[in-house]
């Protein structure tokens, strides 16, 4: 997996005084599953038993739509400028996506988190500080980043759990994968990096997706972290093209 550099903007959003959350802490949370087909609104239900059922801790790339499936994943948001535009494009093309949210962003824009869920998309934990050096940090630090983000996303969504965990820049560790999986969040990788974070130009981004989609189904885009106008335009071109090539859109397997 590629390591993405220069994304320290999230650390400035990290609120002071966030405590380290214990791995074994008992919690009462709301839980819900967004309908993969988007045919019905997710229904939240109270869980008094703490964390969701554990899932596999191996990093997943495969699509639940099989060999011709594509998973569109959107990282770093939500953002009040770009997330609504991305959501509109996804709606126009009948595409469901996975939104890997930074906890502080989710807390800042809960209405957008709820909109993502209402539109039938899935949530993914992307930590609270987007620290691409997480794989060199202590287990206590990794726990804080993952579990505090999980809590913020659940609260912002009105009770819908993130179903995946994506390490910033792919900085997974055996510990972080095990922790996330124990909370019902499948570690999520990617096969195609659109390079949109670097803003190389729309044509370059579209060409990257077209040339690399044969490498695997999970495609990485961003809806925050700067000007994402190129991302919006690239999605406007890429989504119809993928459908023309016979691909269908789904979610990463869990």
Domain boundaries, the chain: 55-247
- State yes or no: cis peptide before 78, omega within 30 of 0: yes
Q: Tell me what percent of the residues of the chain surpass a pLDDT of 90.
A: 80
| Whole-prediction pTM | 0.83
> Catalytic: 222?
yes
Distance in angstroms (rounded) separating the CA atoms of residues 99 and 124: 6
State residue 165 phi and psi, 5-degree precision: -130, 125
pLDDT number for residue 29: 30
Question: Which residue is listed with tokens 């990282």?
Answer: 75
Any idea what DSSP says for residue 15?
Answer: P
Instruction: Tell me yes or no: is domain 55-247 CATH 3.30.230.10.
Output: no
Cβ of 26: how many Cβ atoms within 10 Å?
A: 9
pLDDT number for residue 51: 58
pLDDT number for residue 224: 98
Q: Are 123 and 150 in contact (CB under 8 A)?
A: no
Q: Catalytic pick from 61, 75, 126, 135?
A: 75
The CA-atom distances, in angstroms, between 68 and each of 63, 248, 252 are: 8, 6, 13
Q: Which portions of the chain are predicted below pLDDT 70?
A: 1-51
- Using alpha carbons, select from 156, 157, 181, 154 the residue that is nearest to residue 167: 181
pLDDT number for residue 142: 98
């Amino acid at each position: 997996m590629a390591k993405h550099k220069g994304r320290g903007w999230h650390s400035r959003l990290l609120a002071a005084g966030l405590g380290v959350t214990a791995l074994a802490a008992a919690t009462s949370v709301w839980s819900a599953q967004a309908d993969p087909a988007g045919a019905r609104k997710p229904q939240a239900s109270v869980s008094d038993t703490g964390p969701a059922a554990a899932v596999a801790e191996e990093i997943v790339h495969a699509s639940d739509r099989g060999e011709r499936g594509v998973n569109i994943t959107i990282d770093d948001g939500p953002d009040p400028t770009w997330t609504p535009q991305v959501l509109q494009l996804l709606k126009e093309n009948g595409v469901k996506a996975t939104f890997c949210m930074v906890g502080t962003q989710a807390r800042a824009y809960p209405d957008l988190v709820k909109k993502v869920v209402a539109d039938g998309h899935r949530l993914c934990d992307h930590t609270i500080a987007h620290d691409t050096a997480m794989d060199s940090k202590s287990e206590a630090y990794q726990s804080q980043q993952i579990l505090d983000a999980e809590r913020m996303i659940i609260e912002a969504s009105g009770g819908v759990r993130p179903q995946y965990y994506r390490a910033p820049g792919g900085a997974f560790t055996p510990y972080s994968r095990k922790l996330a999986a124990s909370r019902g969040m499948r570690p999520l990788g990617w096969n195609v990096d659109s390079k949109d974070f670097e803003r190389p130009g729309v044509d370059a981004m579209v060409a990257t997706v077209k040339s690399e989609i044969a490498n695997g189904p999970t495609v990485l885009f961003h809806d925050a972290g700067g000007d994402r106008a190129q991302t919006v335009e690239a999605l406007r071109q890429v989504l119809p093209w993928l459908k023309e090539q016979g691909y269908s859109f789904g979610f990463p397997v869990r």
